[in-house]
Chains A and B, each alone.
Chain A
Amino acid sequence: MTVPLSWYLVLSAILFVTGVAGVLTRRNAIVVFMCIELMLNAVNLTLVAFSSFLGDGTGQVFVIFVMAVAAAEAAVGLAIVIALFRNKQTVDLDSINILKW
């Protein structure tokens, strides 16, 4: 018995919404960052599911690319967080608000 496509999509949606909720509610930059990764991978899951469902390898190849870019992006993001912490002694996003009017 194969897992139907809709299950994958539901799982992916749950993961994505979890990520969104995390981004919106958490104040720790690291956690927010992890939630963004979660959203990214939720989408990856959708891509792989559709790829297998449609019998087209393009989606899976694309996911490899997304993961490669995500790795680089994670490095940059973490570097920013470290630089931020060195300057502000905090990674609380609500206290980092100098970019305003």
Chain B
Amino acid sequence: MVDPLAMAHEVIGIAVALPLVGFLVNGLLGRWVRRESASGVLGSAAVGGAFLIALALFVELLGQPAGERVHVVQLYQWIGAGALRVNVAFQVDQLSVLMMLIVTGVGFLIHVYSMGYMHGDPGYRRFFAYLNLFIFAMLILVLADNFLLLFLGWEGVGLCSYLLIGFWYDRKFEKGTTADAAKKAFIMNRIGDFGFLTGMFLIFATFGSLDFQTVFARASGLGAGTPVIFWITLALFLGATGKSAQIPLFVWLPDAMAGPTPVSALIHAATMVTAGLYMVARCSVLFALAPMTLSIVAAVGAATALVAASIGLVQNDIKKVLAYSTVSQLGYMFLAMGVGAFGAGMFHVTMHAFFKALLFLGSGAVIHAMHDEQDIRKMGGLGPELPLTSKTFLLGTCAIAGIPPLSGFFSKDEILWKTFSGGHTLLWLAGLAGAAMTALYMFRLYTLTFSGAKRWEAGKHPHEAPRTMTAPLVVLAVLSAIGGFVWLPENILWGNAMERWLEPVFERARAVMPLPGDGGGTAEAVLMALSVTVAGTGIWLGRRWYLSRPDVPEALSRRFAWAYRLLLNKYYVDEAYDAAFVRPLVGGSEKLLWRGIDAGVIDWCIDNGARLIGWVSGALRMVQTGIARSYVLVFMIGVVVILGWMLAR
């Protein structure tokens, strides 16, 4: 048998390099390739290859004893300065292989989909180059064995996000152009990055290293609740809120839909937003040592889940509903992390990657069919026109709403159960309310889009998307349907395979903070029934209100007009940020920094300095009379004075 470490060593570099090669070839040479499909195939193949390698690594790890599944593959030393030693090294373990599978697997499907979706776009090659670069950065992020390398990938996905949101940089989007949305995403992420950097500095100052293994080992020695750990985790969590779109930094994600739809599916639903969660899961031991931060994480997660879900109830843009639903689902994942159920959080990350990618790609197929129409009020009755899209979309909708036995049911229920059994009743209630709203807005979306009367102009002829677009939909639909079965209760079939798989990763965290007793039996069954009932109610309302009784939501929106406006305007968060930060900053920069300090002080000094020199020179130049003999006289006097001085001395 091949030495497993040697195998990891050989292939891991290739897995990371493939997308990079794809990016370089498409980005540098793409313009000389005549056939656009060549670029698409190359980009997809690069990611597909990486996926195969991830799969091989997964199988390899499966064959090893649970305790020996962590391999660190060191490529070379990146930075060596004083006590700081940073290696370019990849950590292959259960968590990173899971993330690799998600990133490359879902990423591959979205690449294939993009070949159809972006067909004929003048920026086709550029698009695939960016997508490949994104996959490359994401792989660096999830495979890094130290904080700095993780940060490299972290920044890389932020950059790609910026590039891809602003991909159609001259198109109008809401009040500005897509470039504005791209900038917003980038700046929001920068604020989060500030937190991450601060956390990293604190970690280095406290533990004297940035390597995961070293830091976590040393952290385990510290007691729970040490102040420095609290600050470290809080700073890291701020980074996570930026990347994973949580309160207070969630506003960039809904705007990220300005990019092409595959981008929404790839970056803003399935992979990039999971970076924050991955980071929290990776640092689970640090978070477990800081119970206070964990409470904050849980509260922020639950609040985000609720707020985003309520906004999703009234939005009319198909992608916007999905975007808020992503924010809301990410809230659930953080809720799971916050109550210490790191495994359940990662489970929801995985399932969400399946069904949210499916939903976004499905919405892309709808937009494609409707010729760039995104308003669901102008859709309806698309079911018969787009049979495959509508069926897969329905499956994704059911999955996210939590209908058994689809994937979302398992993962969301697990989170709610862990929250409840951990004694966080209030958070559990919030989660339950969020679940009801999720079912409602998703079925509102589905009903308004695919059922009921046709509300689009007669001139349009919606048609099913090409095979490259529908095939990924089908694959993702299958995954969304059966994915949840990796998390069965113990003693049924293979039991809880995924939790067993991930358990060693969270071992250190468990040692500090054991989860409350699992397997509540009847209590769990009752809660499960409750959440299914709640979801069912939401679905029933969604179907009834938007299919047969459209007057009810109408009446509600009139009766509670203020609430409706509040939700429609997304709680005025953008406006509040604008008033609280943007305008003071712009105004202060203009009035104080520009007109006050720059023009008033610096320019004044420079201008008047130049004026002074000009004036003095004007006086001094009078000495130059042009009469040569007067120069000689001065010269002579000078000689006499100097000689006299020398003699007299």
Which A positions have Cβ atoms within 8 angstroms of B?
Answer: 20, 23-24, 27, 32, 93-94, 96-101
Contact = CB atoms under 8 A, between A and B. Distances in A.
Contacts of B627: 93-94, 97
Contacts of B626: 97-101
Contact of B625 (A23, A24, A100): A100
A99 B633 CA distance: 17
B425 to A, nearest CB: 91
Contacts of B458: none
Interface in B600-633: 621-622, 624-629, 632-633
A93 B628 contact: yes
B636 interface: yes
6 cross-chain pairs, A with B, having the tightest CB-CB distances, nearest first: A100-B626, A97-B626, A101-B621, A100-B624, A99-B626, A101-B624
A59 B321 CA distance: 103
B262 to A, nearest CB: 72
A24 B633 contact: yes
Interface of B: 621-622, 624-629, 632-633, 636
B73 to A, nearest CB: 76
Given A23-B629, A24-B629, A93-B628, A101 B622 contact: yes
Nearest to B631: A99
Nearest to A100: B626
12 contacts: A23-B629, A24-B632, A24-B636, A32-B629, A93-B627, A93-B628, A93-B629, A94-B629, A96-B628, A97-B625, A99-B626, A101-B622
Contacts of B629: 23-24, 27, 32, 93-94
Interface centre among B621, B629, B633, by most A CB within 10 Å? Answer: B629
A61 B200 CA distance: 80
Contacts of A24: 629, 632-633, 636
A96 B626 CA distance: 8
A27 B628 CA distance: 10
A24 B625 CA distance: 15
Contacts of A94: 627, 629
A27 B629 CA distance: 8
B136 to A, nearest CB: 67
Interface centre among A24, A27, A98, A101, by most B CB within 10 Å? Answer: A101
B38 to A, nearest CB: 72
Nearest to B627: A97
B647 to A, nearest CB: 14
Nearest to A36: B632
A94 B636 CA distance: 18
A94 B629 CA distance: 8
Nearest to A94: B627
Contacts of A23: 629, 632
A27 B621 CA distance: 24
Nearest to B632: A23
Contacts of B636: 20, 24
Nearest to B622: A101
A32 B628 CA distance: 11
Nearest to A101: B621
A99 to B, nearest CB: 5
Contacts of A96: 628
A28 to B, nearest CB: 11
A93 B625 CA distance: 12
